[in-house]
Amino acid sequence: MEYDLDVLYRMVKYAESLGASYAEARFHRYSYELVRADNGSLKDYSVTSRAGFGVRVLYNNRIGFSATNSTNTEDLMSAVQNAVAAAKASKKQVTLAERPYVKGKRTPNVRVDPFSVPPEEKIRIALETNRAGLGVEGIRSSITMLGIQRDFRSVVSSDAEVTWEVVLVGISHTSVAGEAGSMERLHDSRSMASGWEFIQNNDWEGFARDISMTAKKALKAPTPPPGRMRVVMDPDLVGLLLHEAFGHASEGDLVASGTSILKDKIGMRVASEIVTIVDDGLAMGGYPVPYDDEGNPKERTVIVEKGVLRGYLTDRASAPLLGVGVTGNGRAQDFENAPIVRQTNIYMEPGEWGVEEQIREARNGLYLSGRGAGGGQVDTGAGTFTFSAGPSYFIRNGEIGEMVKGVVISGYILETLKSVEAVGKDLRIRTSVFGGCGKNGQLVRVGDGGPHIMVREIIVGGR
Amino acid sequence: MTNYVDIDIEKIYRRALDLGASEAEIYYSVSRDLSLNFSEDIERAEVVVSKSLGIRVSIGKKIAIVGTQDLSPRGIEDAVIKAISIARAAPEDPGWRGFNEKLGSVSKEGFADKAIASIGPEELVEIAVSTIEGVMSSSPSTKPVRGSCSASYHRVEIINPYGGPVSREETGSWVYVYAKASSDKGEGTYGDYHASRSIKDLRPHDLGVKVGSMAKSFIGGRAPENDVYDLILAPRIFASFIGVMLSPAISALAVQRGRSPLIGKINSRIAVEDLSIVDEGSDPRYLGARSFDDEGHPTSRNIIIEKGVLKSYIYDSYTAKIEGRASTGNAWRSYSSPPTPGPNHLSIQPGTSSIDEMIRSTKRGIYVLSTIGEWLSNPVSGNLNATITNAYLIENGEIVAPINGGVVSVDFYEMLMSKIYMLGKEVEHRERVSAPPVLLKSIRVAGK
């Protein structure tokens, strides 16, 4: 789709001429390729191209939004009119935080553009990975996906002009192991904000074989005994825990509306004092968010410092309601959606413990692994969260014991982080080109991670 | 008002053949979504119009699919060229036996409320206000903290070598509210939605009253004791469990590719005799039913489980042709992804018990009204887990306390076969699944 920064300026000017006190026009172009190999053959190769415009206005202190993927001037101007009409239907008065004029541009650090790699090469890698996973004895089914994404965004508003682009690549693999009467599935993926070089520099066949071997082993593993127990979690799970148990509850729109139990808790102890939690738009290994979709720069936000709640994640509408600054977390899935408060890359800062030291100290409990974990969910109002772990291990007498599978963890936001007893020296943050975080029907890419940690007590589901 | 019929899909179809496709299928969808967010006040309205084009081509047994929302002449031409070039590069799919050969509609009546295609945001304001008033009326300390309502219009057009263009229209309307109640004993929360094809069938005030009073009843909820309980699942929970665990397992693709636990189980007993489940693909009273599926194949009413016996999987044309049988009209896709079999609307047939009878006949149990995380369960192994966010503890046939927390764990297939004790008579319609409440015997709940 043809695109010109001038079009965005025209939309902003037109909205202002219709009486909007503030207008923000966004252009978004999204390209995605997904190569799927299934049981040794290519199942599909699909390509998605999306581009369009979103416009948000403040009219009489009310917010309105509209979007279109048409490029003709008439439709673009009618989108502006729709946004003004939508604002007129709103009742709630909104104040957007003031800011100095923002101008910026960021281009991704890519050596080999994945979109220039011939389809044959992508198909070859997907098939070879898939066949390696399928080649392990006892594996009945195997799916491999290779995904590449380019996401280009421009925001022009009454007080900003920013442009940025992210390129993301990755491979995911699922193996299903089976024997008489029982089946087990294991899934894992690796993604990186990088060019094709990330695909070239990894051993994907080994990656797939490893998943198959673990799936086979999990087939015979028991589910854990139910109840509360001490656990050591790996960085992937710590990321999930923070994202679900804390990140969502710190989102300023939820806090302002009273939907988060972290409301009115600034300055209070919400975690043990060895816990510091950060949301960083440019964390290494995460999904790059140099700006948000309101055009704010996204920097490093400390949410919890040494166990004390220090701040919330905010956009321009929620910051004034909470009396805090804008943290650059107003993100939109795409041009069809208005920005709302979202996390970027949430992680726990490393501490002083080694991994083995934590397992020894735990003595008895579970070592929870994020590999094969399905994700998580939280009810921020009720304060309850849950997430699943991949095949994990008993800890017996300070050592790793036998495997357990089907592990699901549940806890309360205000309790779990207070029972963190040890924080590791290691740190790993990851993102994914195959998924993201959903809120209000919008999916955005995020990253999360941390070091290994030990938690005194958490509810483990089981039979 | 946007003009909905504005690109010529026959022309795109011919262009794909001219450029070297042996066969092609063009899928075009237009949607207009109007939505409104609210809490105690109307917050933000949005109007989104999107048009999406899907181009699927085959060269022999080599397939590619390109989806685009760039519908300029140049954007469409680029998409067709890209599809052809990927198909040329692709290896053969040994399972490919051509596109869907039967295009047509069951009936076009009842799927769309024409009024929805052109309403403005102000008409949703009334729905939101009525919901807010409902919540507030339940008690002075109960407030709606998050809500949304929407009205959507969706149109699909399909052409392939065997027919078309065929077109279908659907509309949907939706209202959701999450409320919080406070007292000196703490806070209680609850959320629920109501969906319908037409705005006039929504009951926003009733929804608000129900959600508000439920929120109040959950004040002070705690995790249950770690124990084995009888569980009453509210219709929405039973619907969700069936949707998460059974939908992927009955897909003919999962069966053919060796990753369904239901392989080889046709005509075998997999559930108690009381349980029957029908996929209602063609009856507009069920949300998810359509006049044809995403390949243009007419939808149908398909019995999945009859009196506990598995009767059928669900098929799109790809999986149907592999078995030399007819598609069941269950193809689902987005504009940029290939079709895959999915249920249209799984309707779990009701039993005869009332919810009061279920509660009265429970000595020590939990009545579960909302959960999170059941979608994290494993439909391949059958391992089902869900974390409780709203429930009541039952002792000696009476509700005695609210519950928040605890993890329900059960082998889904063991649950179908031997844990279902009573099926309720009141069916609740959710999106793509409808279910009665159910009473399950002896289920493990991890708690404090």
Run of H or E residues at A16: helix A5-17
- Asked if residue B289 is part of any domain, the answer here is no
Nearest to B122 by CA among A83, A66, A89, A60: A89
CA distance B400 to A73: 63
Residues B357 and B442 occupy one common structural domain: yes
Q: Which residues of B90-129 are buried (b: 16+ CB within 10 A; e: fewer)?
A: beebebbeebbbebebbeeeebbbeebbebbbebbbebbb
CA distance A383 to A363: 29
Which domain CATH number covers B70?
3.30.2290.10
Question: Which residue of B lies nearest to A338 if distances are taken between CA atoms?
Answer: B46
Which sign does the torsion angle of CA A9, A14, A18, A24 carry?
negative
The set of residues, in sequence order, having a beta carbon less than 8 Å from that of A460 and lying 6+ positions away, is A224, A225, A226, A227, A228, A229, A231, A366, A407, A408, A409, B407, B446
Identify whether the C-beta of residue B31 lies closer than 8 Å to the C-beta of residue B156.
no
Identify whether the C-beta of residue B166 lies closer than 8 Å to the C-beta of residue B13.
no
CA distance A134 to A141: 7
Mutation target vs A (from B3, B6, B28, B48; most A CBs, 10 A cutoff): B48
User: Is B89 touching A (CB cutoff 8 A)?
Assistant: yes
Q: Which residues of B248-286 are buried (b: 16+ CB within 10 A; e: fewer)?
A: bbbbbbbbbbebbbbbebeeeebbbebbbbbbbbbbbeb
Identify whether the C-beta of residue A368 lies closer than 8 Å to the C-beta of residue A234.
yes
- pLDDT for A440 equals 85
Identify whether the C-beta of residue A419 lies closer than 8 Å to the C-beta of residue A409.
no
Q: What structural domains and CATH numbers belong to chain A?
A: 5-220 (3.30.2290.10), 227-461 (no CATH)
Mutation target vs A (from B49, B51, B124, B444; most A CBs, 10 A cutoff): B49
Q: CA B188, B189, B195: angle at the middle one, nearest 5?
A: 150
Identify whether the C-beta of residue B65 lies closer than 8 Å to the C-beta of residue B334.
no
Question: Which residue of A lies nearest to B124 if distances are taken between CA atoms?
Answer: A89
- Asked if residue B272 is part of any domain, the answer here is no
Which sign does the torsion angle of CA B124, B126, B129, B131 carry?
negative
DSSP string, B237-280: HHHHHHHHHHHHHTBHHHHHTT--TTTT-TTSB-S-TT--EEEE
Tokens of A243: 């994202």
- Asked if residue B200 is part of any domain, the answer here is yes
CA distance A266 to A277: 14
pLDDT in tens, B346-405: 999 999 999 999 999 999 999 999 999 999 999 999 999 999 999 999 999 999 999 999
- pLDDT for A244 equals 87
Contact (CB<8Å) B46/A1: no
Q: Which SS3 state, helix, strand or coil, does residue A123 take?
A: helix
DSSP B2: -
CA distance B57 to B160: 10
Tokens of B304: 């999945």
Residues B55 and B72 occupy one common structural domain: yes
Query: What's the average pLDDT block by block, 10 residues per block, for chain B (448 residues)?
Result: 66 97 97 91 84 96 94 92 96 95 91 88 91 93 94 96 95 96 93 94 96 96 95 98 98 96 97 98 96 98 98 98 98 96 98 97 97 94 95 98 95 97 96 97 94
Last-in-domain residue among B180, B215, B250:
B215
B42, B70, B180 member nearest A381 (Cβ): B180
CA distances from B68 to A47, A243, B83, B279, B295 (A): 8, 32, 11, 31, 18
- pLDDT for B174 equals 95
User: Is B45 touching A (CB cutoff 8 A)?
Assistant: yes
Residues B196 and B99 occupy one common structural domain: yes
Residues B104 and B191 occupy one common structural domain: yes
Residue that has been written with the tokens 């369904």 in this structure? B260
- pLDDT for A90 equals 85
CA distance B136 to B144: 7
Residues B230 and B106 occupy one common structural domain: no
Residues B105 and B224 occupy one common structural domain: no
Residues B166 and B235 occupy one common structural domain: no
Number of CB pairs, chain A paired with chain B, less than 8 A apart: 282
Nearest to B181 by CA among B202, B206, B204, B210: B210
Contact (CB<8Å) B69/A52: yes
CA distance B159 to B163: 6
Q: Which SS3 state, helix, strand or coil, does residue A358 take?
A: helix
CA distance B326 to B306: 20
Last-in-domain residue among B196, B215, B234:
B215
Question: Which residue of B lies nearest to A376 if distances are taken between CA atoms?
Answer: B373
Domain that holds residue B440: 218-242+350-446
- Asked if residue B98 is part of any domain, the answer here is yes
- Asked if residue B377 is part of any domain, the answer here is yes
Within 174-233 of B, beta carbons closer than 8 Å to A belong to 178, 180, 187, 189, 191, 218, 221, 223, 226
Nearest to A115 by CA among A144, A151, A143, A145: A151
Please state, as a whole number, how many other Cβ atoms lie within 10 Å of the Cβ of residue A323.
7
Contact (CB<8Å) B189/A75: no
- Asked if residue B314 is part of any domain, the answer here is no
Q: Which residues of B401-416 are buried (b: 16+ CB within 10 A; e: fewer)?
A: ebbbbbbbbbbbbebb
Residue A169's beta-bridge partner residues? A148, A192
Low-confidence ranges of chain A (pLDDT < 50): none
Residues B19 and B132 occupy one common structural domain: yes
Residues B66 and B181 occupy one common structural domain: yes
DSSP B201: G
Contact (CB<8Å) A463/B411: yes
Torsion of CA B70, B71, B77, B79, to 10 degrees: 40
Tokens of B338: 């290939």
Three-class SS string for A297-341? ECCEEEEEECCEECCCECCCCHHHHHCCCCCCCEECCCCCCCCEE
Residues B231 and B196 occupy one common structural domain: no
Contact (CB<8Å) B383/A381: no
pLDDT in tens, B224-248: 999 999 999 999 999 999 999 999 9
B94, B226, B375 member nearest A226 (Cβ): B226
Tokens of B411: 């082998």
Question: Which region holds residue A443: left if phi is over 0, alpha if psi is between -120 and 50, else beta?
Answer: beta
Residues B402 and B442 occupy one common structural domain: yes
Question: Which region holds residue A4: left if phi is over 0, alpha if psi is between -120 and 50, else beta?
Answer: beta
Tell me how far apart the terminal alpha carbons of chain A are, to the nearest angstrom. Answer: 54
Within 324-383 of B, beta carbons closer than 8 Å to A belong to 336-338, 370, 372-373, 375-376, 378, 380-381, 383
- pLDDT for A190 equals 97
- Asked if residue B102 is part of any domain, the answer here is yes
User: Is B54 touching A (CB cutoff 8 A)?
Assistant: no
Nearest to A44 by CA among B241, B340, B250: B340
Contact (CB<8Å) A47/B95: no
Q: Which residues of B touch A47 (CB under 8 A)?
A: 64-67, 79, 82-83, 86, 336
User: Is B257 touching A (CB cutoff 8 A)?
Assistant: yes
- Asked if residue B355 is part of any domain, the answer here is yes
CA distance B163 to B295: 11
Residues B112 and B231 occupy one common structural domain: no
Tokens of A186: 């294991």
Contact (CB<8Å) B50/A67: yes
Q: How many domains does chain B have?
A: 2
Rg of chain B (C-alpha set): 24
User: How are strands ordered across the β-sheet holding B277-280?
Assistant: B309-310, B301-306, B277-280, B346-348, B433-435, B428-429
Tokens of A184: 């087990």
Please state whether beta strands A277-280 and A227-233 pair in parallel, antiparallel, or not at all (unpaired).
unpaired
A85, A378, A412 member nearest B120 (Cβ): A85
